């Protein structure tokens, strides 16, 4: 080896060592970085890795049921057969939809919606094609699955109202959450989630809703679910139990099915509402998935107002059903006695106007019992003016008029229990004698709801106990013993005699419509209220027959009834909008409902004795 | 000169002797590294030899055969072929460049029918060979002269221009740094390196102008990846998350959430070190790093016993190239250097890099077997 080669070797060894040292230095930088990432900052990166892969999904709770007093379902959750499509799994989306349309009608709109959704979201996420399929259609789709790539039959739950329109106003309905209803509760943001929109569904929404569960899912970078890491099941909503007896509700609603009417049935001893019907009604099932514009418009534009709960929201002049209050005000003030009579010749002068009794021939000399049973207007004009509005107002208030009970369903109206102060505050005008006379026969400023009339009747017939109406049944809590209305039993007996005679005295206004059953008798009071004032010209023509008037111009028919006569148990109030006469239209309805109640009790008692 | 040639002849070994003389330790370490690679490719496929581990294994076997065959070939043959190799590699780079001009956008490989060849990979080896031969033929005095640098710099610059035009930033860096390291090992004066280092700063500024927007973006993203977490910085961020969350012991084989759930991009190629670190932890990463260091350290020690300057420089050139692959890749996935497409040697999925590296080790082994061979300055067969 030449010396120069030796030099080269030396030089190489030195340079190679230096290079190796440099590489070692760089490698230790790598080790330092590894230590920093994997040991020093590990927990921070672990958190970030988990945030990447773990996706929390809410599990919607099953909505609590609403049941009647005997546990029969009024609102429940049913299996909802749905069909979804997963675009990723189809060979061609349009082709699959076309094949599916052999079994399920797919509209042009559905098609557009699905294609739009498919272009927007990840292709492995399902898109809803159809909901609420019947079992037959659903099984057809299932059987033909091999021909329908990408179609995914799915079973969910949706709200179901088995009685349809029967108790719609009471129960209300559910619907999708609107923007204003968002509270920050993530449950409300679930796309399929429904909340109460009306009635009990809305008032008790928090109770019925239940609480959400959650599922921790491992997802990949595309959001596809790989597996479930852990799950906390949702807790179903509580059951709401109503005081309603579904059979009574059914009977009452069906009895007035063809009318624009309201019926309230109440237990006079504790105020439990056994039936609360309002017609015409609507099918709350229609609202579950958003009601169609056509159906909604039809409901909105119907002059018989199917969306209004007439039993609690409708405010009507009580008409002659108010006369018991005027009578009691007179009796309690000592202004009249049971035997005192007044003379009715069908005409009564109030200021410079002549008011008429419904009976053109007049009632002649009649006492308070007869005035109630024959519903003499002249008697009550006179009595009201003698008693004065303040005493009437006081008695009406004690019997529940002008009071909102907040029983727990939507839009309960307050009605008007007028007096001088009320008129001055609202109209800016002094109370006139004529106003008192009008209130004396339940017209003029006074206005009540059918619910209030049922409360009034209950308080009259239960011995003057100030019961309040209830719609929610709570077995655990005893109702507090109701206050006394503070009316002497003797005066109550006098008024009840008048109400008894309405059905059962040959001259009673509802005598033709009395119950013919020998086992039980009912009492009550008719009311007919004018919707339009009958003009002088019409009167001279002879009052035109109600049937010939436009429906809207007809009188409202009212009736408050109770039964049985001895130890009354049930109070019923009936209102038929533009029904005509209280005696001919409303009293038969009340009688039928009361008879039904008696029959039910009889079978029940028999059942117990066996 | 004749004496030394004859001396070389006398020491010529038979094939059997050469086979027995193969450095089996180096081969074992190579197999160990590649074995870890197969395991990780099996893991990132979700526990399947398809589609990566099997292919990679077959390529490795072929590459191993090539390596052993090359080791048997006399080192003088390689020295003789150094310039022709360089010429072929350069013309292939030019062809790729011309085809890129005519075709659509950048292209980095040639379709040879049976395989896709990346000329830039070939060039890494050819450049080392050419430079080693050049310096072998210089006397010490000549090596120290400044004008001796002209030819090597041209040898480096020509491929750099062509590779930059592709544009392939990773390979450019490998070629330049590999070339410089070789100049350093060959004994070029120290002050030249220091002066060049100072001069490189303005050069870097002008180079910046040549970079394509996506490459500039990569550099900027590297400087602050959090700026664009869903776009440019996504790769680095996800890689750091995967690494960091692996901890000391890792999440377990095929248990890496970042890699198995696809949060990690390019997990079977450039980011496979991240998968090792996530699933096998710091322990796994250090094991691999140690294997690399043993491999390279041992090769450097072997190089010191090689009698010919060509053989020594060949080994060191290959060692430095291998090291640069490893360092740039690992530093990249840990966010220390910009994301440049450099694979993890012997582990990342891909044929070209695997063959390049095994060929490189073929040279190292050949130099080792023929360490006693003396080659005259005039050339192998002069």
**Complex prediction ipTM:** 0.91
- pLDDT band at residue B380, thresholds of 50, 70 and 90? low
> Which residues in B lie closer than 8 A to residue A7 (C-beta atoms)?
140
- pLDDT, one tens digit per residue, over B125-161 is 999 999 999 999 888 788 888 888 899 999 999 999 9
Instruction: List the catalytic residues of A.
Output: 320
Residue B104 has pLDDT above 80, yes or no: no
Q: What is the pLDDT of residue A476?
A: 65
> Measured between CA atoms, how close is A3 to chain B, in angstroms?
10
Does the CB of A53 have a partner CB in chain B at under 8 Å?
A: yes
Token pair recorded at residue A317: 């002049």
- Least Cα distance to B60 among B326, B365, B359, B320 occurs for B359
Average pLDDT of every residue of chain A: 87
Please tell me whether residue A179 adopts helix, strand or coil conformation.
Answer: helix
Q: Which residue has the higher pLDDT, A106 or A453?
A: A453
A-B interface: how many C-beta pairs under 8 angstroms?
A: 137
- Least Cα distance to A389 among A434, A334, A429, A355 occurs for A434
Q: What distance in Å separates the CA atoms of residue B272 and residue B56, rounded to the nearest whole number? A: 13
> Which residues in B lie closer than 8 A to residue A15 (C-beta atoms)?
184-187
Q: Is the pTM of this model over 0.80?
A: no
Does the CB of A37 have a partner CB in chain B at under 8 Å?
A: yes
- pLDDT band at residue A609, thresholds of 50, 70 and 90? very low
Exposed, middle or buried by CB within 10 Å (0-12, 13-18, 19+), for A50? middle
- Asked if A61 and A237 count as a contact pair (C-beta separation under 8 A), the reply is yes
Among B139, B143, B257, the residue to mutate for chain A (most A Cβ within 10 A): B257
- pLDDT, one tens digit per residue, over B306-332 is 989 999 999 999 999 999 999 999 999
> Measured between CA atoms, how close is B214 to chain A, in angstroms?
24
Token pair recorded at residue A521: 């008798």
Q: What distance in Å separates the CA atoms of residue B222 and residue B228, rounded to the nearest whole number? A: 10
Token pair recorded at residue A400: 């529940």
- pLDDT, one tens digit per residue, over A378-399 is 999 999 999 999 999 999 999 9
Residue of chain A whose Cα is closest to the Cα of B264: A221
Instruction: List, as one string, the DSSP characters of B223-248.
Output: H-GGGSTTTTTHHHHHHHHHHHHHTT
> Measured between CA atoms, how close is B63 to chain A, in angstroms?
26
> Which residues in A lie closer than 8 A to residue B327 (C-beta atoms)?
23, 26-27, 30
> Which residues in B lie closer than 8 A to residue A221 (C-beta atoms)?
261-263
Residue of chain A whose Cα is closest to the Cα of B374: A1
Instruction: List, as one string, the DSSP characters of B74-141.
Output: -HHHHHHHHHHHHHHHHHHHHHHHHHHHHSSS----EE-SSSEE-HHHHHHHHHHHHHHHHHHTS-HH
Pairing of strands A341-344, A364-367: antiparallel
Q: Which residue has the higher pLDDT, B3 or A519?
A: A519
Residue of chain B whose Cα is closest to the Cα of A219: B261
Average pLDDT of every residue of chain B: 87
Whether A52 and B316 lie within 8 Å, measured CB to CB: no
> Residue B353 to residues A430, A500, B305, B321: CA-CA distances in angstroms?
105, 108, 28, 11
Among A20, A29, A44, A223, the residue to mutate for chain B (most B Cβ within 10 A): A20
- The proportion of chain B whose per-residue pLDDT surpasses 70, expressed as a percent, equals 89
Q: What distance in Å separates the CA atoms of residue A409 and residue A449, rounded to the nearest whole number? A: 14
- Least Cα distance to B278 among B296, B263, B294 occurs for B263
- Least Cα distance to A450 among A483, A413, A492, A409 occurs for A413
Please tell me whether residue A483 adopts helix, strand or coil conformation.
Answer: coil
Q: What is the pLDDT of residue B11?
A: 57
Give the H or E element holding residue A524: strand A523-529
Residue of chain A whose Cα is closest to the Cα of B184: A15
- pLDDT, one tens digit per residue, over A242-270 is 999 999 999 999 999 888 999 999 999 99
**Beta bridge partners of residue A523, listed in sequence order:** A562
- Least Cα distance to A171 among A183, A186, A156, A161 occurs for A161
Eight-class DSSP state of A145: G
Q: Which residue has the higher pLDDT, B341 or A416?
A: A416
Among A7, A18, A30, the residue to mutate for chain B (most B Cβ within 10 A): A30
Q: What is the pLDDT of residue A131?
A: 80
The whole-number average pLDDT for the span A355-371 is 91
Q: What distance in Å separates the CA atoms of residue A499 and residue A375, rounded to the nearest whole number? A: 10
> Which residues in A lie closer than 8 A to residue B143 (C-beta atoms)?
8
Question: How many other C-beta atoms lie within 10 A of the C-beta of residue A478?
Answer: 8
- The proportion of chain A whose per-residue pLDDT surpasses 70, expressed as a percent, equals 94
The whole-number average pLDDT for the span B18-36 is 92
> Which residues in A lie closer than 8 A to residue B296 (C-beta atoms)?
20, 23
Residue B3 has pLDDT above 50, yes or no: no
Whether B247 and A13 lie within 8 Å, measured CB to CB: no
Does the CB of A218 have a partner CB in chain B at under 8 Å?
A: yes
Residue of chain A whose Cα is closest to the Cα of B4: A1
Token pair recorded at residue A480: 């507090």
Residue B8 has pLDDT above 80, yes or no: no
């Amino acid at each position: 080896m030449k010396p120069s080669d030796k030099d080269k070797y030396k030089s190489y060894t030195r340079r190679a060592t230096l290079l190796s040292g440099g590489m070692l230095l760089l490698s230790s930088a790598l080790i330092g970085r590894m230590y920093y990432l994997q040991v020093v900052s590990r927990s921070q990166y672990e958190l970030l890795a988990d945030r990447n892969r773990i996706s929390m999904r809410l599990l919607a709770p099953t909505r609590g049921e609403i049941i009647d007093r005997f546990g029969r379902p009024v609102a429940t959750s049913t299996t909802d057969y749905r069909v979804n499509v997963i675009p990723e799994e189809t060979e061609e989306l349009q082709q699959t939809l076309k094949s599916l349309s052999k079994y399920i009608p797919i509209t042009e709109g559905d098609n557009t919606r699905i294609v739009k959704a498919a272009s927007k979201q990840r292709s492995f996420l399902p898109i809803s094609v159809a909901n609420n399929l019947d079992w037959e259609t659903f099984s057809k789709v299932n059987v033909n699955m091999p021909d329908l790539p990408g179609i995914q039959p799915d079973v969910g739950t949706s709200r179901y109202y088995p009685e349809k329109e029967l108790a719609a106003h009471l129960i209300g309905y559910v619907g999708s959450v609107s923007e204003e209803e968002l509270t920050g509760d993530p449950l409300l943001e679930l796309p399929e989630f429904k909340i109460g929109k009306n009635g009990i569904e809305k008032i008790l929404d928090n109770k019925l809703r239940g609480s959400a569960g959650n599922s921790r899912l491992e997802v990949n970078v595309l959001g596809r679910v790989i597996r479930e890491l852990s799950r906390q099941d949702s807790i179903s909503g509580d059951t709401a139990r109503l005081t309603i007896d579904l059979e009574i509700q059914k009977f009452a609603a069906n009895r007035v099915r063809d009318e624009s009417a309201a019926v309230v049935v109440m237990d006079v001893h504790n105020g439990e509402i056994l039936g609360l019907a309002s017609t015409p009604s609507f099918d709350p099932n229609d609202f579950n998935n958003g009601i169609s514009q056509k159906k909604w418009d039809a409901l909105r534009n119907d002059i018989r107002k199917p969306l209004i709960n007439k039993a609690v929201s409708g405010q009507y002049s009580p008409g002659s059903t108010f006369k018991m209050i005027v009578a009691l005000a007179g009796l309690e003030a000592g202004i009249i006695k049971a035997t005192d009579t007044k003379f009715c010749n069908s005409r009564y002068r109030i200021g410079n106007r002549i008011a008429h009794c419904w009976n053109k021939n007049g009632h002649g000399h009649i006492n308070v019992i007869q005035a109630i049973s024959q519903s003499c207007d002249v008697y009550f004009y006179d009595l009201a003016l003698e008693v004065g509005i303040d005493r009437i107002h006081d008695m009406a208030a004690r019997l529940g008029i002008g009071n909102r009970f907040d029983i727990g369903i939507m839009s309960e109206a307050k009605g008007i229990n007028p007096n001088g102060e009320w008129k001055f505050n609202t109209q800016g005008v002094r109370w006139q004698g004529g106003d008192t006379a009008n209130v004396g026969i339940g017209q003029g400023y006074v206005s009540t709801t059918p619910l209030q009339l049922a409360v009034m009747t209950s308080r009259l017939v239960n011995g003057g106990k100030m019961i309040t109406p209830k719609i929610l049944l709570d077995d655990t809590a005893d109702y507090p013993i109701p206050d006394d209305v503070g009316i002497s039993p003797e005066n109550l007996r006098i008024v009840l005699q008048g109400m008894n005679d309405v059905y059962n005295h040959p001259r009673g206004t509802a005598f033709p419509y009395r119950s013919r059953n020998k086992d039980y008798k009912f009492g009550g009071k008719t009311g007919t209220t004018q919707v339009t004032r009958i003009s002088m010209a019409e009167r001279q023509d002879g009052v035109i027959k109600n049937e010939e008037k436009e429906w809207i111009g007809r009188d409202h028919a009212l009736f408050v009834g109770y039964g049985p006569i001895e130890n009354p148990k049930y109070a019923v109030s009936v209102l038929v909008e533009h029904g005509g006469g209280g005696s001919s239209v409303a009293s038969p309805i009340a009688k039928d409902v009361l008879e039904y109640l008696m029959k039910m009790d009889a079978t029940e008692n028999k059942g117990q004795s066996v | 000169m004749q004496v030394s040639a004859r001396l070389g002849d006398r020491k010529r070994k038979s094939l059997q002797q050469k086979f027995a003389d193969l450095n089996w330790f180096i081969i074992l370490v190579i197999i160990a590294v590649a074995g870890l690679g197969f395991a990780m490719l099996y893991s990132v496929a979700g526990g399947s030899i398809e589609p990566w581990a099997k292919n990679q294994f077959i390529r490795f076997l072929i590459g191993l055969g090539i390596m052993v065959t090359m080791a048997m070939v006399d080192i003088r043959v390689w020295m003789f072929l150094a310039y022709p190799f360089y010429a072929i590699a350069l013309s292939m780079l030019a062809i790729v460049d011309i085809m890129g001009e005519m075709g659509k956008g950048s292209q980095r490989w040639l379709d040879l029918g049976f395989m896709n060849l990346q000329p830039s990979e070939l060039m890494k080896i050819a450049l080392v060979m050419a430079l080693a031969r050049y310096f072998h033929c210089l006397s010490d005095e000549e090596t120290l002269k400044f004008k001796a640098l002209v030819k090597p710099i041209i040898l480096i610059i020509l491929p750099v221009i062509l590779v930059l035009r592709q544009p392939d930033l990773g390979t450019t860096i490998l070629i330049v740094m590999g070339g410089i390291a070789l100049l350093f090992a060959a004994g070029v004066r120290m002050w030249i390196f220091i002066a060049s280092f100072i001069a490189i700063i303005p050069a870097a500024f002008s180079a910046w102008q040549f970079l394509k927007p996506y490459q500039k973006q990569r550099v900027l993203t590297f400087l602050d990846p959090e700026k664009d977490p869903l776009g440019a910085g996504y790769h680095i961020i996800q890689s750091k998350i995967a690494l960091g969350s692996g901890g000391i012991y890792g999440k377990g084989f095929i248990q890496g959430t970042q890699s198995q759930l696809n949060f990690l991009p390019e997990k079977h190629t450039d980011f496979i070190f991240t998968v090792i670190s996530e699933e096998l932890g710091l322990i796994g990463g250090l094991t691999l790093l140690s294997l690399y260091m043993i491999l390279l350290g041992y090769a450097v020690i072997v190089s010191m016993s090689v009698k010919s300057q060509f053989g020594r420089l060949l080994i060191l050139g290959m060692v430095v190239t291998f090291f640069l692959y490893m360092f740039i890749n690992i530093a990249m996935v840990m966010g220390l250097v910009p994301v440049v497409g450099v694979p993890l040697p012997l582990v990342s999925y891909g044929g070209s890099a695997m063959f390049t590296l095994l060929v490189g080790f073929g040279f190292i082994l050949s130099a080792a077997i023929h360490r006693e061979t003396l080659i005259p300055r005039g050339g192998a067969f002069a």
